[in-house]
Structure 1
Amino acid sequence: MTALLARVFSDRYANQAAIGPNLLLMMMYRFAYPFSVALSAARVSPNQITTLSVLFAAVAALALAFDDRWWLFCVFWWLALLMDFCDGTVARMTDTVRNTAFRYDHTSDLFKVFLVVLAVGIRYDTTPAWVVSFSASFFFMFYMVVNHDLVSARKRVRDASPLAGAEANTSPAGPDRGGPGAFRKALYAAVFTINGHTLLVFFVLSLGEDVALLGLTYFLVLSALRAAICINAMVRLPK
């Protein structure tokens, strides 16, 4: 039975580099695997899956903003997240690589987060809701910018000097999973890093203003923290 479950919910095509010690992220990739197999068999391309994720997220945002049924948002947000994990998995299954510099998957993720966070302000329409929504969007987008700058800076250092590049490539997200302190590593990765698993917190956004603002405040603070970590790493690198 265990072997069967391991085959059905496999991590064979999961993004191991992104997962690191994050067991929650690993579980999400495993859960998405059978759906990825079905989509691949149906010849749905990775970009088409990404588009489905955007459409589901848009419907989820509309439900959050204008519909009182909390579960409706949760259903469509779950579908959006599921497709988000399937697109990369299918790309690795089919050895599909993008042939342009435009990162459709990454750009769509930014758009989906913006839509849902905006919907929080529209749904509750109070000063605290708008302040937290705006701040969460700002700090998340700011983190995306400085994280991209950090990746580019590390690449420049690595290309200039392999030894310095090895030091510069130390990830702020924490060490790999396994070994001493495995639970601490997994907990840190799940709570204090930003990846697909972080968007699970959005499921609370339709459960009332207080709960929504608590969840969104966590997302805001985490984005600001990760941005600060990236900036701290960049000031230690040469120009």
Structure 2
Amino acid sequence: MSSAIALVTVGCSSVDYQRLTSGQLSGSLFVMWVGEGNNSGDGNFLFVPDPRDPLIFHRPDRSAPGSTIQPGLMYTDGGSIPKIAQVFKGLSPWGYAPAYMIHDWVFTAHHCIVDGSSEHRFDQVRGVEFADSAAILGEAIKSLIAAKQVAPDDVAPGTITAAVGSLVAKNLWDEKGACKALQVSAKDIAAAEAAIPGSTTKARNLRTFRVPETIVPSVAPAKPAKIVARLSF
């Protein structure tokens, strides 16, 4: 969905990872499988906020754009999430999944803002520019390392930050008309709610992200989404 997972290093990054400082990550994240994918075995996956302990990232500079980011319900990269689920407790760069979720939300919110959305759930990202999005990912990765959630690495964090600051990523950032395709379907919202009660309905009471009432189904599906991974801080 965003460029955070695809490590494409075409072009030059405007963000120097080494100059970034760590912020603070807290809360929990759920990743759910909500359907079959393509022939390679990938599936459709959903990031679902924990209604009791949502994932939140505070940037080190509280006056910077996107100073506090609390991701909402969103689709995430089905090609990467299975690998994340397999190595959550390891020291692989895939353990940067919480940082990827923060960056994915920035991209999702940005696309909907560009397409004219006035939803309050995107307010926390208004004013975030492309360079900010790359810096936010780098700061989130540094936060994981500072919290000893992942081991320090001399190459991966800088490479990932460079990838999301590349020309390829900038082209994705500049796309228009992408918001509609990023909207979570009513069926998948219901599946998430069935798996984690309150993950969509309680979120409606939060200003920072809110599932539009017009697409919140009143009846949950018979089979909830399958939880693939959960990580807490």
**Bigger helix share:** 1
Instruction: State the structure with bigger RCO (CA 8 A, min sep 6), 1 or 2.
Output: 2
> Please, what TM-score do these two structures have when normalized by structure 1?
0.26
TM-score (norm 2): 0.26
- Larger-gyration structure (1/2): 1
